[in-house]
Amino acid sequence: MSATKQLKDLDYSVLQQCMHCGMCLPTCPTYVSTKRERNSPRGRIALMRAVADGNLEVGQELADEMNYCLGCLACTTACPAGVDYTTMFETARAETEANPNIGTTKRRLLRFLLLDKVFLYPNRLQFLGHLLRIYQQTGLDEFVRALKLPYLLGKSIGRLEPQAPRMNREFSDECIDTWEHPPEGVARRGKVGVLSGCVQSLAFSDVNRDTVDVLLHNGWSVFTPKSQSCCGSIHAHNGAPGLALKTGENLMNQFEREFFSLDAIITNAGGCGSHLKHYHSLMGTEKARQWDQKVKDIHEFLVETGFEIPGSRGGEKHRLTYHESCHLCHGQGIKQAPREILDALPDCERIELPNSDTCCGSAGIYNVLQPEESARVLDRKLESIKTTGAECVVTSNPGCHLQIQGGLNSLGLPITVDQPVSLLAKAYRESFS
Amino acid sequence: MPFNASPFENIVGKDQVLTKTVDLIPYGFDGTAELKQLPAAVIFPADTAQVAACVKEAANQNLPIVTRGSGTGLSGGSVPMAGALVICLVRLDQIIKIDPANLTIRVQPGVITKDIDEAALAHGLFYPPDPGSMKISTIGGNVAENSGGLRGLKYGVTRDYVMGLEVVQANGETARLGNACVKDVAGYSMKDLFIGSEGTLGIITEVLLKLVPRPKARKTLLATFSTMEAAAEAVSSIIAAQIIPCTLEFIDQVTLKCVEDYCKIGLPIEAAAVLLIETDGHPDAVDEEAAAMELICRERGADDVKIAATEAEAAKLASARRQAFSALARVRPTTILEDVTVPRSELAKMVTFVNQTAEKYRLQVGTFGHMGDGNLHPTFLTDEKDREEMHRVHEALSEIVDETIRLGGTITGEHGVGLAKKEYLPRQFDDASFAMLKLVKQSLDPDNRLNPGKIFDPA
């Protein structure tokens, strides 16, 4: 693969596909915030096309605009013309990031630390996770926060520190065995792999455990390699295709020995799934093509293969609402399956969330790099959630989970956040124990 | 004279004036193919007084003015000319008052069309005009272009709902035209002059709209035909049977396949043509009309007639139809959309002529449109980079325009003349009427300040 693809090298028909009808505008969170064309999908495409046409320099302004885009892909769902925004966007991000004259030192350092030094190495991420766990479990975090120490590192760090993911007591590697099999008496249906994710493994190992339990309950043997690599989605979305390739290949290798025996490889995080299904476009190999076909989102897999409906415990119904992860609904086109799972829970009532498919502002590491716009987008999401009167927001992506939880906490709202697969696992435990 | 930003910054604030290339590029176009031109600046006033002050300052600097909303127009009405000042009204986005006692709503021009209908819905009322871009188009743009939509057949177009306007004139003076009275014959109906004036006579800064009671019931039918002519004849028979459904839309196979490719709702892509029909009103009337139209379609050779089982299914069908134009962009890089309209009795002839012309010039065409009101959207699927093919497209368009006029039709039913159709306008206004157009322009905008070169060239 060439070092960095450039806008000028893109197939021109991809750029030309946009006929600037404007159907994307109302779905774009940044356009809704500013009402400026530049901050809209068709505006950004016009800028990218101007670069390809030689009418605009690749400079700081273009970079700022590409960084301002959440990459939520709501525009791709809205676009009747089928414009491939993802390819254009990732190309433009890569081109601006590769340009040494662009970017502040602070942003470059932050991005370098996250992409090159942390997310590439599962052991380092786990080590950081251990430190964070100690920090949080000893109560040191409360103490440090009370002294406002994080603000010494700058205002944005101060604001973000409480949002640091709460580490689980046990990480995925500690609570999930490499191979697990359905209990006695459950008919075996086949074998699946589980992608435990990087942040998910540390901060949402319980969701991973629930995913495995649900699969076991439905007759699937589960293979979960230890110390899994990041899938590379963070790298691809942030203009580092080379690193995305490297970490993606590492991850594929970890599944290598069981690859052909697995009926599917399951992902339970929307943001990762969207990227995990597109390794072929990144790597171009036959193996990657087979991999893409095997990767399934957990909800998609359960609905396609069928899952057992848990029994009712009776009593008052738990009122839920469902927030869609952008890369699950826009990236993977999966909208109904999670709703079907929630609607199958006998003790829950689902209330439709207005604008459920609009971004919450988490958007990978966007909330770290663009905290102000992220907060605006989150505020609109919280307003929508309030109108439902739900006791629990359900979502299926670690970024959304943390972002919405953080937002609800800061407003002091007694609304919990959970994930469909966790609610299903819980219902199984309660109705069959 | 070079553009001087600081007087404008004093009016609207420094952050509401854009002059950098990177900010201007996305304002160089609207929803129309082929047309692109950078303005000198884009400015975002917050109220009528600021708009008026900007118009006066533009006169000081001798700048042409282009008014813009969401930039979804389809005739180049909001495409800038070189050196122009774009006045973008998206910040004037307040619903000022909804008045259920008088069935009116007063809004600023930057309010989104769909939001007006949603505000009406909260009071059991209805704002019927629904252009394809209603989710993002602004009411100011709708009034300036006199936009139509899918419901034009029964409910009319934007003009039929405008009761009053506030406009800033080319000299910077503000005028309020019309009022909340159902009857009003005081003086010339000046507001009507501004409806459909495409930004060439004044800048609309407030709109008073009529609302109607929301229909209690609706039913949506989808009829499939194996020939386009059969579909066109079914339309004529429905009208001849004195049934006026709310919507009577036609989609040909090329368009149908593109739409299905996008929305994947199981449209019958094997059909040569489909009619999407919606009837609304009193539940009994709706049932009766739906049954009668189903019968007519079957008599006219429909292969199948389906009735949408739920409101959600009906909404999906209507939304699929609204995406037709954009979905056609899947086939080729450039989509040239036409808007010719003929008297309904001439529809079948026109549809046939379009297809013959496309064949004659070896062009790919997708046709859809508002069959019930004679408004067709033949869309050429082409590539603006292929000059030879583009030449053939323009030859074909010219022939279609001539045939339209011969049949007693109009070169544009709802998109406006703008830049895209201005070369054809003299063919339609081929008597003293063309000079009358220019006379109106000269008296209201003698310096040619407002959207110069749109509709016709300056005198």
DSSP string, A15-54: HHT-----TTGGG-HHHHHH--GGGSHHHHHHHHHHHHTT
Distance CA A25, CA A20 (A): 10
* Model pLDDT for residues B154-175, shown as the tens digit of each residue: 999 999 999 999 999 999 999 9
Q: Do domains B217-326 and B332-406 have the same CATH topology?
A: yes
The neighbour count for residue B17, using CB atoms within 10 Å, is: 22
Do residue B72 and residue A22 have CB atoms under 8 angstroms apart? yes
Alpha-carbon gap: A94 to the closest alpha carbon of chain B (Å): 19
Q: Give the chain B residue nearest A60 (alpha carbons).
A: B22
Residue A162 scores a pLDDT above 70: no
Q: Return the sign of the alpha-carbon dihedral for residues A294, A297, A303, A307.
A: positive
Using a CB-CB distance cutoff of 8 angstroms, which residues of chain A are in contact with residue B326? 19, 21, 23, 79-81
User: Which residues from chain B sit within 8 angstroms of residue A82, using beta carbons?
Assistant: 261-262, 327, 329-330
Q: How far is Cα B161 from Cα B308, in angstroms, rounded to an integer?
A: 29
Cβ within 8 Å, pair A43-B335:
no
Domains present along chain A, CATH in parentheses:
7-98 (1.10.1060.10), 105-163 (no CATH), 172-305 (3.40.50), 318-432 (3.40.50)
Lowest mean pLDDT among A372-376, B245-249, B331-335: B331-335
Q: Point out the residue among A23, A26, A37 whose CB comes nearest to the CB of B326.
A: A23
What's the confidence (pLDDT) of residue A141? 72
Q: Which CATH code is given to the segment(s) B95-213? A: 3.30.465.10
Q: What is the pLDDT of residues A2-36, one digit of tens each?
A: 446 788 888 888 888 899 999 999 999 999 999 99
- pLDDT of residue B458 exceeding 50, the answer is yes
Give the lowest-confidence range in A154-168, B260-274, B434-448. Answer: A154-168
Res. A1 pLDDT band, cuts 50 70 90: very low
Centroid of chain to Cα B127: 15
> B316: number of CA atoms within 13 Å, CB side?
15
Residue B78 contacts A where some CB pair is shorter than 8 Å:
no
Of A421, A397, A341, A292, give the one whose Cα is nearest residue A72.
A397
The candidate with the shortest Cα–Cα distance to B42, out of B74, B75, B77, B9, is B9
How high does pLDDT run on average in chain B?
Answer: 95
Q: How confident is the model at residue A94 (pLDDT cuts 50, 70, 90)?
A: confident
Mean pLDDT of B10-30: 97
End-to-end, the C-alpha distance of chain A in Å comes to 53
* pLDDT the model gives residue A108: 75
Q: Where would I find the H helices in B362-412?
A: 387-406
CATH classification number, B217-326, choose in 3.30.530.20, 3.30.70.60, 3.40.640.10, 3.30.70.2190: 3.30.70.2190
pLDDT of A105 over the 80 cut? no
Question: B5-88 maps to which CATH number?
Answer: 3.30.43.10
Contact B22 A38 (CB under 8 A): yes
C-beta of residue A68 within 8 angstroms of C-beta of residue A374:
no
Are B110 and B132 within 8 A, CB to CB?
no
> Is A20 within 8 Å of B31 when comparing Cβ atoms?
yes
3-class SS of residue B195: coil
Tell me if B335 sits within 8 A of B217, measured CB to CB: no
Q: Which CATH architecture has domain B332-406?
A: 2-Layer Sandwich (3.30)
pLDDT band at A160 (very low <50, low <70, confident <90, very high): low
Predicted confidence at residue A146, as pLDDT, reads 66
Bridge-based pairing of strands B212-213 and A179-180 is: unpaired
Asked if B248 and B297 count as a contact pair (C-beta separation under 8 A), the reply is no
Strands B85-88 and B65-68: parallel
Query: Domain locations in chain B?
Result: 5-88, 95-213, 217-326, 332-406
CA pseudo-torsion sign A337, A338, A342, A343? negative
Among all residues of chain B, which has the CA nearest to that of A25?
A: B136
Chain B, nearest residue to A16 by Cα: B333
pLDDT, tens only, A270-324: 989 999 999 998 899 999 999 999 999 999 999 999 999 998 888 889 999 999 9
Handedness of CA A10, A11, A12, A14 (dihedral sign): negative
Do the beta carbons of residue A351 and residue A322 sit within 8 Å? no
- The answer to whether residue B1 scores a pLDDT higher than 70 is no
Task: Give the pLDDT score at B128.
Answer: 97
**3-state SS class at A376:** helix
Which pair of tokens denotes residue A335?
A: 């909208």
The pLDDT-based confidence of A100 (bands split at 50, 70, 90) is confident
Other residues' Cβ atoms within 10 Å of the Cβ of residue A148: 10
Please give, rounded to a whole number of angstroms, the shortest distance from the CA of B296 to a CA of chain A.
32
List Cβ neighbours of A239 (8 Å cut-off, separation of 6 or more). A66, A90, A93, A94, A95, A96, A97, A98
